[in-house]
A = this chain, B = another copy of it.
Amino acid sequence: MLRIALAQVNATVGDLAGNAEIIVDWTRRAAARGARVVVFPEMALTGYPVEDLALRASFVEASIATVRDVAERLSVEGLGGVAVVVGYLDRRAGLAPRTGLPAGAPLDAAAVLHGGRVVITSAKHHLPNYGVFDEARYFLPGNTLPVFRVPAGDGEAVDVAVAICEDLWQDGGPVAVCHHAGAALLVVPNASPYERGKDDVRLELVQRRAREAGAALAYCNLVGGQDELVFDGDSILVSATGEPLARGPQFEEALIIADLELPSAQAGPGPDSVPDQRDIQPAAGGSLPQSSGDGEPVDAGDGTVIMVERVALPDIPVTAPSASAGEPAAGPFWPRLDDLAEVYAALVLGTADYVRKNGFRTVLLGLSGGIDSALVATIAADALGPEQVNVILMPSKWSSDHSLTDAEDLVKRQGVNARTIAIQEMVEAFRHGLGGDFPLSGLPAENLQSRVRGVINMAVSNNEGPLVLTTGNKSEIATGYSTLYGDSAGGFGPIKDVPKTLVWALSRWRNAESERLGRTPPIPPNSIEKPPSAELAPGQLDTDSLPDYAVLDALLDDYVEKDLGSAELIAAGHDPALVARVIRLVDLAEYKRRQYPPGPKISQKNFGRDRRLPITNRWRESLPE
């Protein structure tokens, strides 16, 4: 019986000292509950993704030094007997520089810490380079499967293999040789960003790989927001037959502890398949143990050879306070969120972490009375508390009565800090300065109002310190229905990846949640029900410029997320004239999107790292005459 802990923690990119503290702290908590193996996420020591920090030698060296420090600290604290698997940034020593390879040859690595030392390391073999991932830019592929034999505390020992994140998603590589290596347990540190519906895919994948490996599988995922990504935790533990044994919470840090009945190493593969059961020797020159090249080569079936490298860990007593082998975790299955709750949680965590990790305490946004800013204010209040949320009501001469009353209603419902600054005076000053040629209506006049509001938000932000949140939704950002430096001015866009129809659905869901709990729904029902309007001209409605949002969002989903061409869009049932119009709007708005701040990715393809189109782009989908 092996007690394992999955520590799905919230690491911060670049904060080596803080992340090291998290690793020591959570190992202490896991040990106190009797765990003999603790698994942390991919790159837990550095945060993920570190992007071009991977290319900076000083950062790589600091990561390597810190992982060694953590091993020592754990031992000093009496935790040397716990096997700790932690992701970090390493480099391949001694590799000759080659043009086109990353300088210093960084590795997306995992270390096993035990007995005060780094006892074995490995590196990710499959490097994702699609969607939001650019790992071929940064990392060399690993080519080993480390297997450590860990005392299970009952005189038995268990062979545990380590693979990293994408290695689970692709065929071949370390996971493919896990069965051959005879490991009873495969542990997999991950940094897998949230997308709607991805959790189901992950569970099936983990179950399939466990069956293929003939090993229990512990999948530990990162938690937290990092710029446009949100890591959702949701760690999974399954048996060798794929039976779910535990599953962590979504979007929250947690320690998932479970007792595994695993075949003992003695009962496992014979000595012949354990050719280099190495004793632990201090690594030369204080460097981390690198692939020795004397493991057992195994054909991974994908054209690569993986070296199985083995190490046996001595039985070191855990002397940390209250190391207990008593009860395992109560409730190893956390309740699961439904689709809308999941999306909403991603937006809240993404916003909270962007604010917190960038050193802000408060946020600011313009509150128009419309649904977009109402939802953003609600997300911010849920993320930070309403007292940290500042809103500015900025009525113009075209504002409807309900825009002010709906905004005031929200302020009352949520208790956020509000002020009102009318924009007419500033708009008039610009009109006067711009002279008689400047039109009183039309796009330039509309944008001017929006930009005056942007300047007010930024002035208050500069003076008082809050981070400005933008309120644009994905439908607007797709079609360019926004003003550059106006409503798009700000540091973070909580609903940037949320189509308008989903904005409404989330708003209704959020209100229903409050009602269910007997609390005041935070969003004014009128903000949800009234027809959407930018209110930059008299009687203006979004539908003057855009089709009905249900029609638009369906088309945008097919064009932006599925990347269908015009012929395919029309074949999918979209109106040809609308296809022509919307494609053109989306294509022409690329320059605006390039200057939009980041916001949490919730879809399969966000505007950001996922979708990278040139601004200068004369490609026009051909359309029927």
- Residues of A whose CB lies within 8 Å of any CB of B are 12-16, 18, 47, 49-53, 55-59, 62, 99-103, 126, 128-130, 134, 136-137, 166, 169-170, 225-227, 353-354, 357-358, 421-423, 425-426, 428-430, 432-435, 437-439, 443-444, 447-448, 451-452, 454-456, 458-460, 462-463, 484-485, 489, 491, 563-568, 591, 594-598, 611-622
Contact = CB atoms under 8 A, between A and B. Distances in A.
15 contacts: A13-B619, A15-B618, A18-B618, A51-B614, A52-B611, A53-B614, A57-B565, A99-B170, A354-B616, A421-B435, A422-B433, A425-B432, A428-B429, A451-B459, A485-B489
A69 to B, nearest CB: 13
A621 B61 CA distance: 11
B463 A437 contact: yes
B426 A53 contact: no
Please state the number of chain copies in the assembly: 2
Nearest to A568: B58
A238 B22 CA distance: 60
Contacts of A567: 58
* Residue from the set A101, A422, A456, A615 with the largest chain B CB neighbour count within 10 Å: A615
Most central of A50, A618, A622 by chain B CB within 10 Å: A618
Nearest to A616: B357
B438 A459 contact: yes
B458 A447 contact: yes
A421 B433 contact: yes
Contacts of A618: 12-15, 18, 47, 357
B485 A454 contact: yes
| Residue in A357, A426, A613 with the greatest tally of chain B CB atoms within 10 Å | A426
A421 B421 CA distance: 25
Contacts of A455: 430, 448, 451-452, 455, 485
Contacts of A52: 563, 611-613
Given A62-B622, A100-B170, 17 more contacts: A14-B614, A16-B619, A51-B612, A52-B612, A53-B617, A56-B563, A58-B621, A100-B126, A103-B563, A129-B136, A134-B134, A358-B616, A443-B462, A448-B462, A451-B458, A451-B459, A454-B485
A614 B429 contact: no
B99 A616 contact: no
Contacts of A434: 421, 456, 459-460, 463
Given A422-B433, A451-B455, A568-B58, A227 B616 contact: yes
A95 to B, nearest CB: 15
Among A353, A459, A598, max chain B CB count under 10 A is at A459
A222 B622 CA distance: 26
Contacts of A14: 614, 617-620
A451 B459 CA distance: 9
A612 B612 CA distance: 14
A443 B439 CA distance: 32
A98 to B, nearest CB: 8
A56 B136 CA distance: 21
A438 B455 CA distance: 13
Nearest to A431: B459
Contacts of A612: 51-52, 134
Given A455-B430, A491-B591, A100 B130 contact: yes
A616 B13 contact: yes
A24 to B, nearest CB: 18
Contacts of A616: 12-13, 225-227, 353-354, 357-358
A559 to B, nearest CB: 10
Nearest to A563: B56
A437 B425 CA distance: 18
Given A49-B614, A130-B102, A134-B137, A619 B428 contact: no
A353 B459 CA distance: 35
Nearest to A353: B616
A173 to B, nearest CB: 11
A484 B596 CA distance: 12
A88 to B, nearest CB: 14
A331 to B, nearest CB: 32
Contacts of A423: 433
Closest 6 interchain pairs by CB? A58-B565, A14-B619, A15-B618, A429-B429, A444-B462, A136-B136
B444 A456 contact: no
Contacts of A51: 612-614
B430 A458 contact: no
Contact of A597 (B437, B451, B595): B595
Contacts of A485: 454-455, 458, 485, 489
